[in-house]
Amino acid sequence: MNNNKKFFKFLRPVLLLMGLLLLLHLVLRIIFRIHNHQLFPALTLKNLWLTFLWGLKMDLASLALLNLPVFILLFIAQYEVPKSKTIIRIAFILFIILNAAGLAINIIDIGYFPFSKHRSNADLLYVFADSSGSFASLLKNYWLLLILFIVSVWTLFFLSKKIFILKTTAGKWQAVLLSQFILTALLLLAMRGWEARPLIPASPLLQVDARELPIAQNSINCFLYSLIRKKDQLKSREYFSQDELNKIISSSHSCCASSENADSMIKKNVVICILESFSRVFLTPGNIHKAQTPFFDSLIKKSIFFPNAFSNGYSSNQGIVAILGGLPSFLDEPFYYSDYANTPLRSIGNILKEKGYDTNFFLGAGEDHFGFGKFCRIAGIDNYYSRKNFNDDRFYDGNWGIFDEPFLQFGAQVLAKKNQPFFAVFFNLSSHPPFVIPEKYKQQFNSPRQSPQQRSISYVDYSFRQFFEACKKSTWFQNSIFVFCADHYLYPNDGSRYTLADASMIPIFIYDPSEETGETDSTLISQVDITPSLLDLLQYHGKYSGFGTDIFDKGQKEHYAVNRAGYIYQIITNDFVLGYDFSGEKTKYLYQYTEDPLWKNNLAGDAAYLAIQKKMEQILKANIQCYTEALLRRSLE
């Protein structure tokens, strides 16, 4: 009995440590909510209570799991008297290391969430690895978060050091076993959050609005869960029979199948310009966020412009896979880093290479930046031009790579020497945070009415004007098709609220110098539609793979965009956006975003909109099932 009393005395410091950690993470949750208020609706008192109650559960579960080895060591120290001081010292060091990491990932998400739109998962490992060269600028822009981290860790160290003073006692083995059983039961109960089922990142959706889910989550839980399920994140779905599925969606398609003459393809050069962090609002006339982009404005007037364009992801590594691979972002990690990277693609680069095109990729960053070099091989692109090929670091921006204007000029010089036809992809950099532009142009773009983000976009506009001026001198220019498409949306940092539908709105336009149509096509288009639409313009006859549809085929029943934000899969149509929780197999929201831009009226379950909801659910489920089957069998055929 005496030993059991000693055990319950041991529980006191354990509870104090957990209380300290819970308090620190509560503070971080409040800061997370305040800093990212643009993406969240105003909380009612009831919603506030439920969200933070679930946040407490998620914190408790995450911290119990994270500190399990520490608590086991402290328990052992109670009964290993000769070595207790050493064990306690080791436990203290481990406690600081583990919880500093836990605090770090939650603090990182305070600043990173506006870009990713979800709590961190396995993808953070790749983002960190590829952003190492820009840590100085990141710290410069997010120095407050660094101070928050230092203060949090110092507080943790100072207060926990006072708690890590334990009295030891020798005990009988029966008492030790009983005490161990009680400790294990308490920790398991904490990790389950007193719920019937183990807590996972999507668990708060049982009571919390899907839009508020990230507030209730803990980044430790999301990150660890993503790592654990990495090998099994795709599970076979059987919503439809194969015949039913084929009527809704397929990953293999035929283009211009009415003709068997493959030689009739118009072999124009194809240049895809992927615009880094371009939101549609920056190119929309009359919008308060419109940047000064005289070149893009004039080019759009000569192009086929799609004012209803959406992204299939929320980051660069998702956008490039959607644009060049035809795949939406349904994985936690980049497709080309996943176990499914050996799935053969038959998208725009692969097909044009097969047709004799010289295939090229231009990015002013380091070799294989963000893994793009790996993906280019998968996407059928042979030649990769980077900062190394540019070979002049006088034009290095100090963060990501070579400034856009000189690097685009370098690209124009490379293309001038290419044999036609060629396929070229340009991925610009200068509109990426921290929005640095060359010193000599700062005065030129230093409009007081524009934010640093808008100024960087104006510089990109100028850079592409110079690029086009250089390209016009080459014979290949008139025999080319240019596609401009953003890799993802980036919110205008002015404090205004926006939704996950807004966060998918990007610019897409197609320019053909030989046919300056100046057409506006209001058909909904997304990044995965670029391959079939380009193949239509080239009058390609044959097979292609992916999840897009030909935007110029007016016989298509309906166009839509699908993407994923954290644990919510989303489908956007001309008027509505629907969010579906596949862990609970339930629609969490349905908004008529064209009439309700701030998502105030959730129509999910409303009898008047059940037909629309059912149809959107059907399309989304079909996309998930088809995507899963294709990757599991490693074939898009």
DSSP state letters, 116-162: HSS---THHHHHHHHTGGGHHHHHHHSHHHHHHHHHHHHHHHHHHHH
Place of tokens 């204007």: 405
Q: Is 570 exposed, middle or buried (0-12, 13-18, 19+ CB in 10 A)?
A: buried
Distance CA 607, CA 257 (A): 41
The residue with tokens 């230092």 is 150
pLDDT given at position 197: 62
Residue type, 250: S
Beta carbons within 8 Å of 468's beta carbon, 6+ residues apart: 295, 299
CA dist 609 and 451 (Å) reads: 40
Burial (0-12, 13-18, 19+ Cβ within 10 Å), 315: buried
Q: Is 333 exposed, middle or buried (0-12, 13-18, 19+ CB in 10 A)?
A: buried
How many residues are given for the chain? 637
Beta-ladder partners of 571: 562, 578
Q: Which residue has the tokens 């980051």?
A: 315
Q: Residue with structure tokens 């239509």?
A: 536
Q: Is the separation of the CB atoms in 289 and 281 below 8 Å?
A: yes
Question: What residues contact residue 102 under an 8 Å CB cut-off, 6+ apart?
Answer: 21, 25, 62, 63, 66, 220
What is the mean pLDDT for each group of 10 consecutive residues in the chain (637 residues)? 54 82 96 90 83 91 88 75 79 94 95 87 75 68 90 94 66 52 62 63 84 91 82 79 92 70 82 96 91 96 97 95 96 88 93 96 91 92 96 93 97 97 97 92 87 95 98 96 96 82 96 93 96 95 93 83 93 97 91 95 96 97 95 87
How many angstroms separate the CA atoms of 563 and 552, rounded?
A: 22
Q: Name the CATH code of domain 242-248+267-479+488-632 (choices 3.40.109.10, 3.40.50.12780, 3.30.420.40, 3.40.720.10).
A: 3.40.720.10
For 75-134, write each residue's pLDDT tens digit: 777 766 667 788 888 989 999 999 999 999 999 999 988 888 889 888 787 777 666 666
Q: How far is CA 233 from the centre of its chain?
A: 16
- Encoding tokens for residue 380? 């059928």
Separation of alpha carbons 411 and 62, rounded Å: 48
Structure tokens belonging to residue 95: 């406690």
Q: In the numeric block, which tokens belong to residue 513?
A: 């110098």
What count of other Cβ atoms lies within 10 Å of the Cβ of residue 637? 11
Q: What is the pLDDT of residue 628?
A: 93
Q: Residue ranges of the domains in the chain?
A: 2-228, 242-248+267-479+488-632
Count of C-beta atoms within a 10 Å radius of residue 514: 10
| d(C-alpha 67, C-alpha 97), whole Å | 10
Across-strand partners of 310?
505, 526
Please give the helix or strand (H or E) that residue 361 lies within, else none.
strand 358-363
State the DSSP string of 263-299.
Answer: GG----EEEEEEETT--GGGGSTT-TT----HHHHHH
Enter the pTM of the model.
0.88
What are the helix (H) ranges across 288-447?
A: 294-300, 316-325, 348-354, 372-378, 387-390, 404-416
Check if the beta carbon of residue 48 is closer than 8 Å to that of residue 10.
no
Question: How many distinct helices (H) and strands (E) make up the chain?
Answer: 20, 16
Q: How far apart are CA 606 and CA 379, in angstroms?
A: 43
Give the number of other CB atoms < 10 A from CB of residue 234.
19
**213-256 per-position pLDDT tens digit:** 899 999 998 998 888 776 666 788 889 999 999 899 999 888 76
